[in-house]
Amino acid sequence: MSSSSASILGIDLGGTKTALALFDTATMVPRTSEGFPTEAAEGFAAVQDRLLKAVKLIRAPDTVAIGLGVPGFIDPKTKHVISMPNIPGSDNVDIRQWLSSATGLPVAIENDARCFAYAEALLGAGKGHRIVLGVTLGTGVGGGIVINGELFRGTHGYAGEVGHALLMPGQPPYPTEDRRGDVEQFLSGTAMGRRCEAARRPQDYLEGHVCSFLQPEVIREVAWFIVSAMHFIDPAIVVFGGSTGRALKPHLSIIEKEISAWLLPGMKPSKLAGGTLADATVRGAALLANAETETQ
């Protein structure tokens, strides 16, 4: 990390709320933080306006770069946002270039789940482990792979998209035209709300909690897709984040037992842990921006 006195701005652009924090580049200790309701339903242009106002409020004279974590897919070549499903009007936008032009600062952009994984690998629960898989279970399901302190993006830039790994192809857990049956259709907060509704028990769902009657199924389904991840990349540790991910922390020992039943004979299971950084996504975005400025 930089030894000179400077600051990096990290941003977590969420569908519900947006968080910003200014970090010292030498220590990655936050100097100050801000946040605002994203109000995504008003559309992308309105979100841009609020974001720029917040950036101008928090940035300092010594701010050298911005790291931006977004809830969507990014073209690995152009760095354009392909889609942010929770923010209307955000398809095929170049928010990185827009923010850079508006602030005069270089901007690093990455998927928010990868930012989470990166921060937890370098400074959080995954620190000291060679291969870290970060998994966020919230409104959606995301992930990131960090190997030897570097994000692993894969050949085409989509490595770690665990939410779109198939869990039960063609068998979504609630009525829908989308028949993928991927992890996100089972384990996202949105999915669990719909599962409770389909079972005519909507009162059992509270955002960020695993409703009691679904708990055994959710534990089993989490174990299944983590078993697949372990067989694919054999991480030293799997770190969970997001509202539902945090709710799973008391159940990790049960998930570990379920996982052990499905692993190859003699295979040692990965350690499971909850994230330890309250600002992991913001911090991860700042860390990535800091790393990019050091290589330029």
Of the candidates 288, 291, 296, 294, the residue with the CA atom closest to the CA atom of residue 144: 288
Of the candidates 93, 90, 89, the residue with the CA atom closest to the CA atom of residue 75: 93
pLDDT at 3: 46
| Range scoring the smallest mean pLDDT among 28-32, 95-99, 283-287, 291-295 | 291-295
Banded pLDDT at 1 (limits 50, 70, 90):
very low
Give per-residue pLDDT as tens, 235-282: 999 999 998 898 889 999 999 999 999 999 999 999 999 999 999 999
Run of H or E residues at 17: strand 17-24
More confident residue, 199 or 158: 158
Give per-residue pLDDT as tens, 58-78: 999 999 999 999 999 999 999
pLDDT at 174: 76
pLDDT above 60 (res 105): yes
Give per-residue pLDDT as tens, 107-142: 999 999 999 999 999 999 999 999 999 999 988 899
Q: What's the whole-number mean pLDDT along residues 23-32?
A: 95
Average pLDDT over all residues of the chain: 92
Give per-residue pLDDT as tens, 46-55: 999 999 999 9
Q: How would you write 20-54 as a 3-class SS string? A: EEEEECCCCCEEEEEEEECCHHHCHHHHHHHHHHH
Q: What's the whole-number mean pLDDT along residues 213-227?
A: 89
Q: What is the DSSP string of 220-246?
A: HHHHHHHHHHHHHH--SEEEEESHHHH
Residue 281 near residue 21, CB atoms below 8 Å: no
Banded pLDDT at 171 (limits 50, 70, 90):
confident
Q: What's the whole-number mean pLDDT along residues 207-225?
A: 78
Q: Which phi and psi (to 5°) does residue 266 adopt?
A: 85, -10
pLDDT above 50 (res 2): no
Q: Walk me through the domains of the chain, giving residue ranges and CATH numbers.
A: 7-114+279-295 (3.30.420.40), 126-274 (3.30.420.40)
